[in-house]
Every structure is written in structure tokens, then in C-alpha cells.
Chain A
Amino acid sequence: MPGGIALAIWIVGMGAGVCFVTCSVLRASFLKYFFLNLYVILALFADLLRQFVLRNCGLQSPEYIYTYYYTDCLLTIALFVAVINLASHVFAELNLARYVRFVAVLLLLGTAGFTYAVVVQSTERLATKFAAELSQNLYFVGLVLTYLLWGAVLKLRETRTRLVQMVLSLGLYFSAYAGSYALLNMAPNSEIVQYLGPLLGCFLPVSWALTIIRHSENARLTPAQLVAVPR
């Protein structure tokens, strides 16, 4: 990817991340959406670390590949926790938050176990292979979880605008990331895939920042207007 475009995308992503955390603090929503903020802060640190390693070791170096995949893996787990946190908000009134957390932890451990079993059977047995495979599977599991969460939002007639838009942003992010990973597997040399990753990385902090700026905690939506086909 040309250096200028990559740097521009990186700056936009960093700026949106800082904007989201700042707006959360200013609008007294930092603790309410703590795990979303934690994810964005971790993403900012991961971006800085990746840039540092990239500048010192180069794009094709094993150091950069290790740093990229392991930070990606950690970020995906942090995002997984953010999904659980949003699910806890949605199910809070039904007192099901404890069960949601339990199921999500089981799912996370199951995904890690499944991935390890797949990687162990391969001849390479490389640690990076495990990290890359785990990231792919976690994105897909994250997508399925967000899809279920969206189903719950519609079923429970959730009206909080912020919560609805944050879940939808997560859904868009997971769908696009899982799709781009699949595309990467099917066409590894496709040029568009090189642009997708960094662009998608910007999307989540940008959309969350817009949601926090545009809507107050009291803003409400009519759930029926969210369904694509009216019932």
C-alpha cells in the first residue's frame, strides 16, 4: 500500500479513537461503556506498537508479523468482551447478564480450543499460525454473537439509540472483517484486501464517536423502524 494513504488512514483511525474516548469522558459515559473504551484504548496502543515495530524492523520481518497477529488476537478478545458488555446492557432488565457472560466465556474458550486443535494437526506448528487462525475464527464467532445480539435487540424491542447504533456498528465491523479474512484466504494477492484492513480498523472508532457525539443516553428509537422488512 502506498505510504501516504496508509499514513492518512492510520491518522484518521487514531484521531477517531482519541475522539471517542474524549467524548465518552466528557459525556460521562466512560464507565457505562467501559469495555468499549478499553478496546479503543488498547487499539490505540496496539497501533502505536505496530508502527514502532514497522519502522524499526520492516513490513516482512517476523517481528512485525508476530506483533501484528498477537495484537490483533488480543484486540479481538477485547472486542469479544465489548460484545458481552453490550449484551449485558441489553439483557440487564431480564437479569440474564450472568448467563450471557458465562456462555460467552465458554464460547471464547471453545474457539481457542478448536483453533489449537486445527493448528496442532498442521505440520508447521508455528505460534503465528495459531494467532492468525484464532483471529479468523474469533471474528467469525464475534459476527455470529453480534448477529444473535441484534436478534435480541429486536426481540426485546430495545429503544436506546446509542446501544442500538453501537451494536449495529459492531455488526458491520465484524461482517466486513470476517468477509475480508475470507477474501484474503481465497485471493491472497488481491490488492483491495490490503486497503480493507486499515480502513475497517478506522470504522469502529469513527462510528462509535459519531454515536456518542450525536445521541444522548436518553435518546430513543422506535424498534419497528429498524427492521428492514416491516412486520
Chain B
Amino acid sequence: MMAAFILAFSLLTLLMFFVSYCRSLTASSMHTSISEDVRDVTGIQTRAAGRDYARVMQILQLCPDRPEDRARLQIVGAYYSFLNLLDQGFAKMFPAVRAWAEEERAGCAHFAAVALGRRIALNREMLAQQVEL
């Protein structure tokens, strides 16, 4: 009985801390606007939408890797998958969940787009260095 209570409480708090931790990661990129290069490549007009995430990630994988972004992108990727599951599982019962999940997925897409902007900038720098050599 006690173990079941602790398990239920732990799962609830785990979920809450996971969502907050992922939001703290995506929040760090909220004040950075999406660069012109990324807009051109991804077709994002003004604001990233949740559905843009998959496309941005595909393009990200084509660019040279930045090790400092890797772990955070993986965590945000896990968060995006969790949001998709939530959307598929509960959106019919609770329509508000769909709106919330979409808002969160847009945050994930924005985070990935900002990371893509950094990778494109790095790519340009590397190219410029090679030209100089």
C-alpha cells in the first residue's frame, strides 16, 4: 500500500519535473529569433509550429555536429515524442491537452530551429576558414 502510494506520487512528480526541466531548456532559446538562413532552408515564415520540428531535425542532421548541443537536443527530442504520445492518447478526451501540446511542440521546433541556426553559422565559419587556407 505504502509502496504503491510512493510509486504513484513519484510518477506524478517525475512527470512534473520532466516537463519543467524540458521547458527550462526550450525557454533558453525563446528570446533568440530564428535566423534568416533557417527561414530560407526550412520555410518557417514567422513563428515555428509543432509540425516544423521533424523537418528542422532532418536538416539539422545534415549539418556538422556541435557536441555542446547534442544532449539538449536529445532531451528535447524525448520531450517532443512524449508530447506526441500525450496528444494521441488524451486529446480526444481533453481538447485543452491538444492546444497545450501544440504550443509545447512549437517551443521544441523553435529550440531546434535556433540550434540549426547555430550549426549553419558554424558551417559558414568552417567554410570561410577553408577558403582562407
Contacts and interface: CB of A to CB of B under 8 A. Distances in A.
Contact size class for A?
20 to 34
Contacts of A168: 17, 20-21, 24
A214 B72 CA distance: 10
B11 interface: yes
Contact of A169 (B3, B19, B21): B21
B24 A226 contact: yes
Main secondary structure of the interface of B (DSSP, over half): helix
B34 to A, nearest CB: 17
Interface in A159-173: 161, 164-165, 168-169, 171-172
B19 A164 contact: no
A181 B2 CA distance: 11
Given A179-B14, A210-B72, A228-B19, A221 B6 contact: no
A226 B13 contact: no
Contact of B4 (A175, A182, A225, A228): A182
Contacts of A227: 20, 23
Interface string B5-45: 01101110110111111011011101000000000000000
A226 B6 contact: no
A230 B6 CA distance: 28
A185 B3 contact: yes
Interface of A: 140, 143, 147, 150, 161, 164-165, 168-169, 171-172, 174-176, 178-179, 181-183, 185-186, 206, 210, 213-215, 219, 221-222, 225-229
Q: Lowest 7 A-B CB distances belong to which pairs?
A: A179-B10, A171-B17, A175-B14, A182-B7, A225-B27, A185-B3, A182-B6
Interface of B: 3-4, 6-7, 9-11, 13-14, 16-21, 23-24, 26-28, 30, 68, 71-72, 100
